[in-house]
Amino acid sequence: MKGVTSLFLLQNVMSICSWSLDNVCEADDIKCQNTQISNPGEIVYGQCYRHAALRRLLKVSFLTCLKECMKTSNCVNVSYRRGWKMCDINGNVKSEVELVQEHGCFSSNISSWSKTLVGKCANHSCKDGYICVLKGDVITCELAYCIGRPSVANALLNEPFGLSRDHGHGMMYKCANGLKLSGKPFAVCHKTGIWKSMFICEKSCEKGWIKFGDHCYYIGPDEKTWDDSKADCIRKGSYLVKIEDASENRWLQTVMTDNNIGKLWICAHDIGIEGTWCWIYDNTTVNFTNWGVGEPNNHEGNENCAELSEAALYGWNDGVCTSVLQYICERQIQA
């Protein structure tokens, strides 16, 4: 047992070892093999940083990875995945950085490598988000990555190797549990160096219910009396629709035209006091109204329940409560 423990410790220690070209350069990568590095840096095998990448370069040699880090403002180390020739130029974004065990990945602190690899860019002073570019003999700073991370409410990063901040690139996201994603699931590091989210995560209505604002609506499949409509909505954990304002009224009108509905019960009534209209849902008086021309007329003294009516040009009409009409239920959106 003791032998097994010592072997395990030995392997851990061995994961930090001296540099060799064969370890980091492909046999056919002449440029990498012929580098004039005299004092190689230290490499930690099997460990990589996540959520630290300022830039992520694909299909580059380890040598290029080191050089790009030296040119990039705030780069402190690199993580290199040899299988993909994938280079993460890592900053020191402390709060979110994780160091994880990852087979086939190695990391190296840039301070352990000779800066002569990047010539004049070795001592650049480009700002956050910029890299040093050498044009002939002249140093310029070019925008290369976004600062910070995108702020997307209720969303989780959906990239296996963590966040990177490359200028012009998108990072894939998914919504937190139960929320619906609208748009494309990406946050993009815009060319201005600012993150732009291409989606929102929002609460959604369950199947069969339609969303409007932060409420869900259900169109009853068959016709019922006003009382039965009200009861069916309550059974569904909702209430016969209450129209609060003009925008909800307009939206219901489009629901009617879209679904070829001629008449639709709403929860306003004047059953208690003739001419005093209340919402049965919460017993409040009706403020916003959209009565059709000549309505409410309490025709034959027997019209006490309100409907939306195509005949009244999708305005309101007081009708006979025992008529059977379609109806629409409403409830607040749930988490």
Among 73, 108, 309, 317, the residue binding Ca ion under the rule CB under 5 A is 317
Q: How far apart are CA 290 and CA 314, in angstroms?
A: 9
Is 88 a binding residue for Ca ion by CB under 5 A? The answer is no
Q: Choose which of 61, 77, 90, 304 interacts with Ca ion (CB under 5 A).
A: 304
Cα torsion angle, 43, 48, 52, 56, sign: positive
Is residue 158 near Ca ion by the rule CB under 5 A?
Answer: no
Residue 270 touches Ca ion, criterion: CB under 5 A: yes
Q: Which stretch binds Ca ion (CB under 5 A): 7-15, 97-105, 231-239, 310-318?
A: 310-318
In sequence order, what are the beta bridge partners of 79? 88, 107
Of 243, 300, 304, nearest to 273 (Cα)? Answer: 304
Name every residue whose Cβ is closer than 8 Å to that of residue 12 and which is 6 or more positions away in sequence. none
Q: What minimum distance in Å lies between the beta carbon of 240 and Ca ion?
A: 10
Instruction: Determine which helix (DSSP H) or strand (DSSP E) holds 332, and give its type and residue range.
Output: strand 326-332
Residue 68 sits in the site that holds Ca ion (CB under 5 A): no
Does the footprint of Ca ion cover residue 318 (CB under 5 A)?
Answer: yes
Binding track, positions 233-252, relative to Ca ion; x by CB under 5 A = ---------x-x--------
Q: 11 or 298, CB closer to Ca ion?
A: 298
Closer residue to Ca ion (CB): 261 or 268: 268
Tell me the three state secondary structure of residue 7: helix
SS3 of 142, please? strand
Distance, CA of 292 to CA of 314 (rounded, Å):
8
How far is residue 46 from each of residues 17, 49, 77, 86, 104, measured CA to CA in Å?
12, 10, 15, 15, 6
- At closest approach, how far in Å is the CB of 245 from Ca ion? 8
Residue 153 C-beta: closest distance to Ca ion, Å? 25
Q: What's the alpha-carbon Rg for the chain, to the nearest Å? A: 33
Nearest to Ca ion of 42, 244 (CB atom): 244
Stretch near Ca ion under the rule CB under 5 A, chosen from 76-84, 172-180, 295-303, 306-314? 295-303
Q: Which stretch binds Ca ion (CB under 5 A): 189-197, 200-208, 249-257, 312-320?
A: 312-320
- Binding residues (CB under 5 A) for Ca ion: these are 242, 244, 270, 295, 297-299, 303-304, 317-318
